[in-house]
Amino acid sequence: MPLDAQCDLLEAVRKNVGRDGKRLKGNPRAQLRKNQVALQLRAWQRIEQTIDRNWDPDDMPAMNLAPPNATGLPSGVAPSAVKDPQLRAEYEAAIEANRQKAARYRLQSRARKLKKRWIRHAERFIIRTYIQPPARLAELEALLNVYVADAAKRARILDAVKNKKMPDDLILRNTTQPAKGATFGPVMERVVPVFSRGHMFLDLDSGKFAKMPGPSPDEQAQLDWADRSQVDVYVLTDKDSVFEPMIAFLGATVLPLKNVDWNDSAVLPILGSLSRPTVRGTLSKADVQIRGIASDEKRLPVTYAFRTRHGGAGILQIVGFTDKPKGIKIRYKMLQQAKGGKPTTQPAPDGASTQPGLVQDVRLADRGPGRRIFSGGYHFSAFSRR
């Protein structure tokens, strides 16, 4: 069973323990508890054993491989385009090696995410389960000795069960409600250009644009790149000549708002009510939410509240379009915690404009034939969270 599937299944088990209406007591309950915890610990052990300590996250697989120089062909062409059998075999071998590298990269990336998120919830479940009677501390210690290599972690769990006290960092708290004194940061205004190539991303925190390394024919590889880059949102347009813009949110909770909410402080509780979305492992098609944008500017602006999978929250408004370059005019403001009674501010970075229609690091030369990005044959420009 794939690691992600195993962890998802056991997470569902944790959430549904005790919801079947059966109230076991004594030895039957103790045996069920032991079995459930053993399953959690086996997955914990598998995550730890999967992680390669020598893995380099900066050593990424290629988005597009170039065929041998002797072919004179561009990067990303199909092997069938290489006529020479020896060069074609060399190219196919390189593609297969890169495919395997991409698979290893995804596995290592997922395992580290699971260690950060999944193991924490498993630890809480184990402590909460063994705090309840019947007391079997020696049984738990034996299980931990088999599956958990970290002695400090074993001692922490046993100490928590013995003292019947959950560690502070494992206590569930409502972190989505804005803290007292929370306010909005400065309004950031940008034009997100829409090109057929040279996809432009905007970092919400800094206001800077970034560029995707290049298109890839593999849809999951594109999502993996987006996940590694922590992309939140991108702007799409239909690949045909008709300009039909759309906005897509990656792994985010999104709520349409009334346009009057942009200037209404009463929207703060609404942002607090947005739950932080859960992404299983890496991003998938199911994590992409697409919202249409009226191509008639008379029907703008359009306003959304959002909370990203990274925890950030704010309001985004689509206010218009530009022709040179073709793009979407947006403005947004992030929820921030006030310090000393004054809102924290975030000035635009050097070389970046806060005025709509002014984009100083757009590479207009990066135009070319359309490529499929994600699904539906769309082109996109996006903005990301680092």
Query: Would you write out the chain's pLDDT as a tens digit for each of its 386 residues?
Result: 889 889 888 988 887 765 444 566 778 889 999 999 999 999 999 999 999 999 998 888 887 888 999 999 998 899 999 999 999 999 999 999 999 998 999 899 889 989 988 999 999 999 999 998 888 999 999 999 999 999 999 999 999 999 999 998 887 654 445 556 678 889 989 888 775 454 667 777 777 776 666 655 566 777 777 777 777 877 776 555 556 677 778 888 888 898 988 988 778 888 877 777 766 666 777 777 788 776 677 788 999 988 887 778 889 999 988 887 778 889 999 988 655 444 333 333 333 333 333 332 222 222 233 333 333 333 334 444 43
Distance CA 84, CA 64 (A): 20
| pTM exceeds 0.85 for this model | no
Contact of 238 with 380, CB cutoff 8 Å: no
User: In 3-state terms, the chain is what percent helix, strand and coil (to 5)?
Assistant: 40, 20, 40
Q: Is 313 helix (H, G, I), strand (E, B) or coil?
A: strand
Dist CA 170 CA 291 (whole Å) = 36
Give me the residues paired with residue 320 across strands: 329
Sheet holding 231-238, edge to edge: 288-292, 245-250, 231-238, 378-384
CA angle 67–73–76, rounded 5-degree value: 60
246: left (phi over 0), alpha (psi -120 to 50) or beta: beta
How far lies 168's CA from each of 41, 75, 117, in Å? 21, 52, 16
Question: Is the separation of the CB atoms in 333 and 185 below 8 Å?
Answer: yes
Structure tokens at 54: 């020598």
Q: How far apart are CA 123 and CA 40, in angstroms?
A: 9
Give the per-residue pLDDT at 108.
92
What are the residue ranges spanned by the domains of the chain?
A: 3-56+96-170, 182-384
> What pLDDT, on the 0 to 100 scale, is given for residue 215?
59
Confidence (pLDDT) at 294: 67
DSSP H helices in the chain: 3-16, 26-50, 85-131, 137-147, 151-163, 219-228, 268-273
Per the CB < 8 A criterion, the answer to whether 198 and 366 are in contact is yes
- By DSSP bridging, strand 288-292 and strand 252-257 are unpaired
Q: Give the separation between CA 71 and CA 63, rounded to whole angstroms.
A: 20
How, if at all, do strands 188-193 and 326-337 pair?
antiparallel
